[in-house]
Amino acid sequence: MSTISLTTIQTNLFWEDRNANLQMFESKIRQIADKTEVVILPEMFSTGFSMQPEKLAEKMDGFTVNWMNSIAAQKKIILTGSLIIEDNGRYFNRLIWMLPDGNYGWYNKRHLFAFAGENKYYTAGEKRLIASVKGWKINLQVCYDLRFPVWVRQQNTNTGLDDAQKIPEYDLIIYVANWPQRRTHAWKTLLQARAIENQCYVAAVNRVGDDGNGIYHSGDSMIIDPLGEVLYTKADVEDIHTIILQKEKLTEVRSKFPFWKDGDSFSIEP
């Protein structure tokens, strides 16, 4: 059965300082000694969670996306994380999924954090992105999306098929975040819930340290298996962690407890 290796980078961020952040991440990525296939950075990794897109936004052909392209090619990895993008006069909190061959996909954060005014500055995304790597299907999400289970729910598109023909929509959810410590209980609980209810792995990367508004982030990045068991977590310190996920474990859980086959059919309108 296939495996996939992930490296999570939990770190402090330099507030609204793209060059300092990219230099820091480049150094950390070059430190990764283990063989890895996907490297995951936090939400708005080049700036921190800023509400100043008019000052900080970049184009898709801008410096940071080109930097991701270069690093992915040099290290032969998939590199992912979100940043502030300006596209046709609108600002997006956009997750980039950069492949080592220079091809990429993107996902615009669907649920904007109105509590911090994100909805006043950014445009919400309208569709999900499920990437494919070595036979693994990966659902890509950003921070506040975590609170909305319908958006990430495994779609039951197998109506009319017998059980032997049914397959789940995806195998892994990746969340990138700037989730504050004051709501860390919700973070931990919801991440485990998403793994259990979707019978999939979850990999969630959060930042640590104070942001430019004095809000503290404890990290608590996590990797969770399809039964909701925590395979890795780290709080309050910077950490680089590589883990190999086993498709065999996923298949075993889904075969032994085939709850996903009983899911409701539904559709989501933008």
The pLDDT of residue 265 is 78
pLDDT exceeds 80 at position 156: no
Residue 101 lies inside a defined structural domain of this protein: yes
The pLDDT of residue 262 is 85
pLDDT, mean over the chain: 95
Assign residue 132 the CATH number of its domain: 3.60.110.10
200 is catalytic: no
The pLDDT of residue 263 is 83
The pLDDT of residue 145 is 98
Give pLDDT tens digits for 17-59. Answer: 999 999 999 999 999 999 999 999 999 999 999 999 999 999 9
pLDDT exceeds 80 at position 147: yes
Question: What integer is the mean pLDDT of 6-25?
Answer: 98
pLDDT exceeds 80 at position 214: yes
Question: What integer is the mean pLDDT of 2-13?
Answer: 98
In order of 13, 93, 169, 179, 230, the CA distances from 216 in angstroms are 12, 21, 36, 9, 23
Name the catalytic one among 16, 37, 58, 109.
109
Residue 198 lies inside a defined structural domain of this protein: yes
Contact between residue 40 and residue 72 where contact means Cβ atoms under 8 Å apart:
no
The pLDDT of residue 22 is 98
37 is catalytic: no
CA–CA gap between residue 187 and residue 178 (Å, rounded): 11
Structural domain containing residue 30: 3-262
pLDDT exceeds 70 at position 222: yes
Contact between residue 63 and residue 18 where contact means Cβ atoms under 8 Å apart:
yes
Name the catalytic one among 16, 43, 118, 169.
43
Give pLDDT tens digits for 158-201. Answer: 555 565 557 899 999 999 999 999 999 999 999 999 999 999 99
143 is catalytic: yes
Flag the least confident range among 163-167, 193-197, 212-216, 238-242: 163-167
Contact between residue 223 and residue 162 where contact means Cβ atoms under 8 Å apart:
no
Contact between residue 184 and residue 218 where contact means Cβ atoms under 8 Å apart:
yes
Q: What is the pTM of this model?
A: 0.96
Residue 268 lies inside a defined structural domain of this protein: no
Residue 267 lies inside a defined structural domain of this protein: no
Name the catalytic one among 37, 118, 143, 188.
143
Residue 269 lies inside a defined structural domain of this protein: no
Give the count of domains, the chain. 1
